[in-house]
């Protein structure tokens, strides 16, 4: 992990895009601007997909607020898909690593996002915190209940 990096840093191997800037801003509206109206979010931190721009922007806005640092480290793009690897800290310095696969439509808006976190213990803690932050806004069954 990179110690002392600013939130949502982008290495030279990752293109600066609306998605990465939304994380830096921790702004649900910035996420919404990057999403298609019918976007689907699948994630290891979710028990089932979250659908629709308004719901996904709430999840992504809350998730970005949990991260203490986030560095996008590598990106591979082929056609309408990009895979971005990242490193993060959250929840009092717990380390997370993962990858995000984004699929865009012909307008460049994200229609599908798949986000994978590891290691498992930190993923479960992240999911539980996400559920707490979204209580009453997103159905609780999407998240791990925590310990």
Strand 35-43 with 67-78, pairing: unpaired
Residue 1: the pLDDT is 40
pLDDT of residue 87: 94
Q: Name the nearest CA neighbour of 13 among 71, 95, 81, 100.
A: 71
Query: What's the pLDDT at 27?
Result: 79
What residues in the chain have per-residue pLDDT under 70? 1-16, 146-147
pLDDT, residue 57, reads 94
Q: Which helix (H) or strand (E) holds 37?
A: strand 35-43
pLDDT score at 17: 72
Angle at 138 (CA atoms; ends 137, 140), nearest 5 degrees:
115
């Amino acid at each position: 992990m990179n110690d002392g990096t600013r939130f949502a840093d982008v290495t030279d191997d990752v293109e600066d895009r609306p998605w990465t800037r939304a994380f830096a801003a921790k702004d649900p509206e910035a996420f919404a601007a990057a999403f298609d109206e019918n976007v689907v979010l699948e994630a290891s931190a979710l028990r089932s997909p979250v659908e629709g721009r308004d719901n996904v922007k709430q999840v992504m806005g809350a998730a970005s607020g949990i991260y203490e640092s986030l560095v996008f480290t590598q990106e591979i793009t082929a056609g309408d898909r990009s895979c971005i690897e990242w490193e993060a800290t959250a929840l009092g310095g717990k380390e997370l690593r993962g990858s995000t696969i984004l699929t865009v439509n012909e307008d460049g808006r994200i229609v599908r996002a798949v986000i994978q976190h590891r290691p498992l213990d930190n993923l479960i803690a992240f999911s539980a915190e996400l559920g707490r932050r979204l209580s009453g806004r997103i159905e609780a069954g999407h998240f791990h209940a925590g310990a």
